[in-house]
Structure 1
Amino acid sequence: MSETVSAREVFGGGVAVVTGAGAGIGAGLARHAHRLGMSVVLADVDADAIAALRDELTAGGGTAVDVVCDVRDPDAVAELAERTYRDLGPARLLVNNAGVEQFGYLWDTPVANWNRVMDINVSGVFHGVRAFLPRMLDNPAPAWVWNLSSIGGVAAVPLQTPYIVSKHAVLALTECLRLEVQLAGHDDHVHVQAVLPGAVRSNIFEAAGGVDGDGADIEAAESQRRAMLDIKANAMDPLEAAEVVFEQAARGEFYLLTQPDYVGSAMAERAQVLTSRVPPQLRTKPRFDPARH
């Protein structure tokens, strides 16, 4: 696409489906999609949050609907797709954004917390792709799939291992999916893109899982939570982040970065680490300072 094409020209009109739309960058992406003239499907497990956002968006005109959906449940996500196509029409944009955090040493992490992170952050993306992408492939109209990775998808960070693993997985999933869409001959109209946010204001740290049980280092987990909350104080506004992402997507970029300079530097550092085969090293400051989804 031409670099002069605006997000409004590309995305104006049509239907956007955003999972995890109740807060953070998900809410920001939903708000900006609505500003661009899209009909927005707000999906989240927090019924009150998406109902309030629906009322906010529709107060000024346009269409927004809220759907309570747990992305861990493939049947629920399939129903989300069915309802979207039945009630609003073909999805032009699917944003697989729903995600959760986890703090603490990996060996202290409860099995249920590990499964929660993987089921939401990774399997939730897979379920979204399974439910929506075949319909997009069958429809010749342009369509976009955005999967939310993170600056954490190109970093190694202690005391957040499940989250970091999940975001590496989402990035790999998205890169492979782009190749598969190309291999299947649909890349002329279906565009797969990876979103790598840096620090964007949300409640992900407050809602993050921790550790418990005999011998678990609770203080280490909570210390990491406090460090991330300190970073949140200077994080990017979700709507501002959404504007940046939409403009990059409209230009046809694959890696969509909320803070291009900072997240880009983390990507370059990751490439250098892999090239030089230098072992991971502890930092005196968090990798995510000042950027984080």
Structure 2
Amino acid sequence: MREFEGRTVVVTGAGGGIGRALALRFAREGMDLALADVDEDSLEATGRKTREHGTRVLTQVTDVGDEASVNELADRAFAELGGVHLLCNNAGVYMGGRLWTRPPADFEWTLRVNLWGILHGVRAFVPRMIGQDTEGHIVNTCSVAGLFAGPGAAPYTVSKWAAFAASLTLAQELALEGTRLRVSALCPGGVVTGIHLSERRRPASLRTEPGEDSAFMAEMIAATVAGGIPPDEVAARVVEAVREKRFLVLTHPAYEPGLAEQAAALSEGRLPRMPDFEWTG
């Protein structure tokens, strides 16, 4: 999909970070927008900024972990904007800790948002996007942690590997069916966002007590975010990937040697080395 003007994009997690950057970039490209976030105030702030570009903007408070909530977003987007051509399943949360020490609620929360948010988005939007019989694209925000399984962030890493698997499966299925839709798996690393603060919007029913492992990783992710690249750079890479129909979208070119190294280790039956997520050596 090379042309954006006059078409419609849906962005979840649009209240800040990468989601807001995507919304602003696509507004500048002349797209109409359906924006979603669980936080109403931050969502409306994004809505105000995007409306300055003169395109139609719909905002809807949406819990991507709830199927009915995502279906309501899809119903409004198709009814009020006339169709959807680009879907960015971007909403995400972070939780660190070891696989054997963090309680089930940590995994339930991260999977609910990071995986089920994508699955609900696909099920709500993709059948209707196929039915439009127009060019279209789905961008799922997966994370570099969905490519390299490092220690200490088990809930997040498990959810993001599942998100990557869902994206790859979707891309292959859409190609096999001969549709006009393409898929990109966005795998950002260090980006200046508020993901390290995502627990403030965690449902009360899924809250847990922090442990020393999760507290340590919270400090690590905060430092990674502080030293990351601007979200605008990520949005630019997404625009380029959609135009070029690229599946894997990396935010840091230095990740590429790490992928080759990991593939070599796995092909030889070896455990890949513990990754430096910035792949600086």
2:257 matched to which residue of 1? 265
Distance 1:156 1:273 in 2: 13
Distance 1:48 1:113 in 2: 26
2:190 matched to which residue of 1? 199
Matched to 1:268, the amino acid is A
Aligned length: 275
Distance 2:83 2:178 in 1: 20
Q: 1:28 aligns with which of 9, 21, 29?
A: 21
1:4 matched to which residue of 2? none
Identity %: 35
Distance 2:27 2:157 in 1: 30
Distance 1:76 1:206 in 2: 23
Distance 1:236 1:80 in 2: 30
Q: 1:128 aligns with which of 101, 121, 128?
A: 121
Q: 2:52 aligns with which of 32, 52, 59?
A: 59
1:118 matched to which residue of 2? 111
Distance 2:39 2:123 in 1: 23
Deviation at 1:277, TM superposition (A): 2.1
Distance 2:117 2:234 in 1: 22
Spell out, residue by residue over 1:51-86, the C-alpha distance to the aligned partner (whole angstroms, 9 max, x if none). Answer: 011111113422222110001111111111110000
2:71 matched to which residue of 1? 78
1:275 matched to which residue of 2? 267
- Is 1:167 paired with 2:160? yes
* Structure 1 alignment gaps of length 5 or more: 1-6
Distance 1:239 1:23 in 2: 11
Deviation at 1:106, TM superposition (A): 2.2
Matched to 2:67, the amino acid is P
Distance 2:115 2:225 in 1: 24
Deviation at 1:262, TM superposition (A): 2.1
Contact 2:105–2:208 (Cα < 8 Å) also in 1: no
Distance 1:225 1:109 in 2: 14
Correspondence 1:1-293 to 2 at 5 A: 9-186=2-179, 189-208=180-199, 218-259=211-252, 261-282=253-274, 287-289=276-278
Distance 2:19 2:257 in 1: 24
Local SS of the residue matching 1:198: coil
Distance 2:250 2:273 in 1: 25
Local SS of the residue matching 1:113: helix
Distance 1:280 1:253 in 2: 26
Contact 1:43–1:68 (Cα < 8 Å) also in 2: yes
Contact 2:62–2:69 (Cα < 8 Å) also in 1: yes
Distance 2:116 2:58 in 1: 24
Deviation at 1:154, TM superposition (A): 1.1
Spell out, residue by residue over 1:239-279, the C-alpha distance to the aligned partner (whole angstroms, 9 max, x if none). Answer: 121012211221121112222x1232332232122112222
Deviation at 1:211, TM superposition (A): 9.0
Q: Which moved more, 1:112-121 or 1:223-232?
A: 223-232
Spell out, residue by residue over 1:190-240, the C-alpha distance to the aligned partner (whole angstroms, 9 max, x if none). Answer: 112211112111111122489966xx7x23321221122122222111112
Deviation at 1:184, TM superposition (A): 1.7
Distance 1:123 1:92 in 2: 21
Contact 1:245–1:257 (Cα < 8 Å) also in 2: no
Local SS of the residue matching 1:163: helix
Q: 1:178 to 1:282 in 2, by over 3 A?
A: closer
Contact 1:198–1:290 (Cα < 8 Å) also in 2: no
- Higher relative contact order, structure no. (Cα contacts within 8 Å, ≥ 6 residues apart): 1
